[in-house]
Structure formats: C-alpha cells, structure tokens
Amino acid sequence: MTATPLYPSRVTAGDAVVTSREGFALDKLRAVVEVEVSLDEYPIAEAVVDRALVYRTEELRGHLGDLGEAAAVRRELTRALHDGPGVIVITGAIEPSVVDRATEVFEQIIAEEREAGTGGGDHYAKPGANDRLWNALEKLAVADPDTFVDYHACDMIDLASLAWLGPGYQITAQVNAINPGGSAQMPHRDYHVGFMTDEVAERYPIHTHRLSPLLTLQGGVAHCHMPPETGATMLLPHSHKYELGYLAWRRPELIEYFAEHRVQIELDKGDLVFFSPAVLHAGGHNRTNDVRRMANLLQISSAMGRATEAVDRERITNAVYPALLRRQEEGLDPALVACAVAASAEGYAFPTNLDRDVPIGGLTPPSQQDLVFEALANKTPPDELAAQLAAHRHRRATH
C-alpha cells in the first residue's frame, strides 16, 4: 500500500531516507514558484499584488461577528499561507498614531542600547547595516504599558495567528530598522530549521522540514510608508512549497534566481504582512538617502513550539495589567483587550510541575492568561495579581 503524501500538491524530496542538499534542483523550485494566483479562489481577498494576496482590515472585520463567517475567514487565510502564495498583506490593521507612539519608544531604546554598546546585530546582513531591537515585545511593555496595550489590541494579528497556529500562540517581536544606504539581507528561510547550518539541517528527516514552518508565523508591522526603494521585505511567493528549501537558500544559483524573481510589496504605516517562514525572504536594500525603514518583525510561535527569544511574560503582564484595567474601564472592546492579553501573558499551561500545579476541573492547570482574564473580570488590584502570578511561577518550579 502506498501512503498518501503529506502535501500531495507539492514538489517532494522523494523517498530518500537522508535529507541532502545534493537533492536540490532549480527546475523543481521553478515549477512551484512560477505560477499565478487566481483571485477567484480567495473570495474575501481584495486584490493580488506581486503574487501576494491583499486583504482589507474593515472587510475582514465585517466577517468576524458571525462564528461561521469567522471560521471561513480563518480557513481562507490558512489556505493562502499553506497552499497559495504563502504571503498575505492586511492593510490598515493598526492606527498610524499608535504605530508612531511605538516607534518613539523603539527609537529611544535603540539609541540607549547603541550608546551602551548592547544593540543587536543581524542574522542575515552585515553588522551595522541595520539596527535591531531584540525582544521588542517585552521592552515595549515595560517602557510604555499603555502603548503596548493599544498596539497589541489588534484583532488582525490575532486573526492571522489563530488561522495559522490556533489558540495559545506566543508572540515575540524584533524591530528591524534599515538605515539609509543599508544593504540587503541574504535570502533565507526562518525559524526553526532556517536557523540551522546545512550540516545540522541535513540531520533532520524531511517530515521535520515539512513540520517546521507550521510551528511559526512570520510577520511584520510597517512603521513607515515602505515602498521598495526603502528596503521593503523581498519575498519569493510560493517558495515555501519546495521542500528542500531549507538546504538550498545558501546556494549561489538560488540566490541569483531569488534576485531575479523576488517581489517587494509596498506597505503603508500600520499595514501587516504575514508569510510562512519557509517562504524565501530578505530585508531589502535601502536605496534612499533620508528614510529610516522600520518594521516590527513578529515571530509568532505555536503553543506546541518553542519561541526564538526568552521572554519574561510575568514581567510583561505585571507591567501592562494596570493599562489593561484602564482600557477595560474606558470601554475597549473585550475582544481587543483579549488580543493584548494574548500578546503578553503565557497562554499554554505546560510544561509545569504536576505535583504542585495540579489540574483541577480540567485536563490542564490554569495558564497565566487564565489568571489575567479572571483578574480583569474581578477587577483585581495589580498587587494581588502580581502575588498570584508569583505563586503560579512557584508552583511550576521543579523544587
């Protein structure tokens, strides 16, 4: 009996037991990349731009009030990311004024880190070409909790995350500012297998290469108007379907092919772009003399995966909880409050110490998010929630 392929519509690596970079074939990559996207197959999308699907925030929100329509939206986004071009854009997702507030905080932290000599480098570009702010999620929460809540009370980030990863997702964020004249990154795939050398990646079987991109959603928030000349992200739609791509992105012939066929989608401030981490991509060359191109890169992990960064979510939660209480009191839509909670508190109950953190009334003990939602419902004072979170952490410790 022949087993049904996991992705029957995709180019596979064959039946080889060992995944090898020697199996790379440019013609097989071309076969999956050089296809057109039909808007008829994606009825909720507004347009196809540079082989990517573009959605309007207001159009998507119009479907989210009905459970059946909301499920249909998520299915379409999942299909676009998995079987379609692998790239979607959502326009008008975050108010530009809120983005500007976050930009001011990020710029201040970047300047402080540069002065202290602690600023981050870049995985895929020459040191100094870009400014990186690692763990921007936690740093924004601690520096300006109100801005954090307003920025992450974003139903469109939540929608895309649920479509690709399901509930309990974990957001990390890394600001990338490409300075005037800053050079482009190398084309690459991303976390998990994309962070490995070829030698290490070859040790993982092909099904792991298939699984890796399903554990993470790549995305970004545009913090300025971002035409191609500012270094807008270069993307190769459909390239996530080529299963040896994690072993191919360093090859000269692929780099040359990428340079000839990649696209750069123009974004406005507050727009979102999401893509499969297996889509070949790179930060572009900033050819301007006066535009500092800033994007807040989102790397959103499945509850069943491991995030890139170590994030102190208890610290974030304590920092932003007073702001959450204020926004709730001011009448912010509870669904948007929940988005900000999802961006801050840990939504997954495991791993834990089941001797002390015993499940009561269910299969899992409460998560940080459970505690925060209960506190918001009861208008618990911040110091009491802080004590509950500390006790929660103590219960999860092994000793």
Report yes or no on 35 lying in a domain: no
88 contacts 80 by C-beta, under 8 angstroms: yes
Residue 21, pLDDT above cutoff 90: no
Query: 114 burial class (0-12, 13-18, 19+ CB within 10 angstroms)?
Result: exposed
Same domain, yes or no: 91 and 210? yes
User: What token pair was written down for 118?
Assistant: 């602690």
**Quick one: pLDDT at residue 121?**
53
Report yes or no on 26 lying in a domain: no
Same domain, yes or no: 277 and 336? no
Which residue, of 301, 328, 352, is where some domain finishes? 301
Report yes or no on 132 lying in a domain: yes
Task: Read off the pLDDT of residues 86-127 as tens digits, 9 standing for 90 and up.
Answer: 999 999 999 999 999 999 999 999 999 999 887 655 545 555
Task: Read off the pLDDT of residues 220-254 as tens digits, 9 standing for 90 and up.
Answer: 999 999 999 999 999 999 999 999 999 999 999 99
Q: Which residue has the tokens 């071009």?
A: 85
Residue 226, amino acid: M
- Name which of 243, 251, 239 is nearest 206 in CA terms: 243
Same domain, yes or no: 169 and 192? yes
Residue 240, amino acid: H
User: What token pair was written down for 8?
Assistant: 């029957």
Same domain, yes or no: 158 and 207? yes
Q: How many domains does the structure of the chain reveal?
A: 2
User: What token pair was written down for 308?
Assistant: 């890139």
Question: What CA–CA distance (Å, rounded) separates 7 from 95?
Answer: 38
How far, rounded to the nearest angstrom, does the alpha carbon of residue 287 sit from its chain's CA centroid?
A: 26
- Name which of 394, 232, 235, 215 is nearest 307 in CA terms: 215
**Quick one: pLDDT at residue 383?**
98
More confident residue, 33 or 124: 33
The region, left, alpha or beta by phi > 0 then psi within -120 to 50, assigned to residue 181 is: left
Residue 194, amino acid: G
Same domain, yes or no: 214 and 116? yes
**Quick one: pLDDT at residue 364?**
87
Residue 178, pLDDT above cutoff 80: yes
Same domain, yes or no: 219 and 195? yes
- Name which of 300, 221, 209, 272 is nearest 246 in CA terms: 209
Residue 376, amino acid: L
Q: What is the CATH number of the domain that holds 167?
A: 2.60.120.620
Same domain, yes or no: 179 and 213? yes
Same domain, yes or no: 328 and 363? yes
User: What token pair was written down for 301?
Assistant: 């992990």
Task: Read off the pLDDT of residues 200-222 as tens digits, 9 standing for 90 and up.
Answer: 899 999 999 999 999 999 999 99
How far, rounded to the nearest angstrom, does the alpha carbon of residue 255 sit from its chain's CA centroid?
A: 24
Domain of residue 317: give its range. 313-396
Question: What CA–CA distance (Å, rounded) separates 249 from 253?
Answer: 9
Task: Read off the pLDDT of residues 42-97 as tens digits, 9 standing for 90 and up.
Answer: 999 999 999 999 999 999 999 999 999 999 999 999 999 999 999 999 999 999 99
- Per the document, the length of the chain is 399
**Quick one: pLDDT at residue 113?**
92
Residue 260, pLDDT above cutoff 50: yes
Report yes or no on 116 lying in a domain: yes
Question: What CA–CA distance (Å, rounded) separates 251 from 50?
Answer: 24
Report yes or no on 234 lying in a domain: yes
SS3 state at 100: helix
Residue 4, pLDDT above cutoff 50: no
In Å, how far are 24, 152, 213, 224, 372 from 83, measured between CA atoms? 21, 28, 13, 30, 36
More confident residue, 117 or 311: 311
Same domain, yes or no: 206 and 354? no
What's the helix, strand, coil split of the chain in %, to 5? 45, 15, 40
The pair phi, psi for residue 345, each rounded to 5°, is: -90, 150
Which residue, of 255, 275, 301, is where some domain finishes? 301
Task: Output DSSP code: residue 226.
Answer: B
Residue 255, pLDDT above cutoff 80: yes
User: What token pair was written down for 36?
Assistant: 């057109």
**Quick one: pLDDT at residue 307?**
82
Instruction: For residue 17, name the pLDDT band (cuts at 50, 70, 90).
Output: very low
Per DSSP, what are the bridge partners of residue 298? 173, 219
Instruction: For residue 308, name the pLDDT band (cuts at 50, 70, 90).
Output: confident
Same domain, yes or no: 270 and 364? no
Alpha helices in 222-367 (DSSP H): 252-261, 313-329, 334-344
**Quick one: pLDDT at residue 280?**
98
Residue 167, pLDDT above cutoff 80: yes
Same domain, yes or no: 85 and 147? yes
Question: What CA–CA distance (Å, rounded) separates 244 from 213?
Answer: 13
**Quick one: pLDDT at residue 342?**
97
Report yes or no on 248 lying in a domain: yes
Cis peptide before 351 (omega within 30 of 0): yes
Question: What CA–CA distance (Å, rounded) separates 370 from 167?
Answer: 13
Q: Which residue has the tokens 């379609």?
A: 84
Q: What is the mean pLDDT of the chain?
A: 92
Report yes or no on 201 lying in a domain: yes
Same domain, yes or no: 267 and 335? no
**Quick one: pLDDT at residue 358?**
87
Which residue, of 301, 323, 338, is where some domain finishes? 301
Task: Read off the pLDDT of residues 363-395 as tens digits, 9 standing for 90 and up.
Answer: 889 999 999 999 999 999 999 999 999 999 999
Report yes or no on 279 lying in a domain: yes
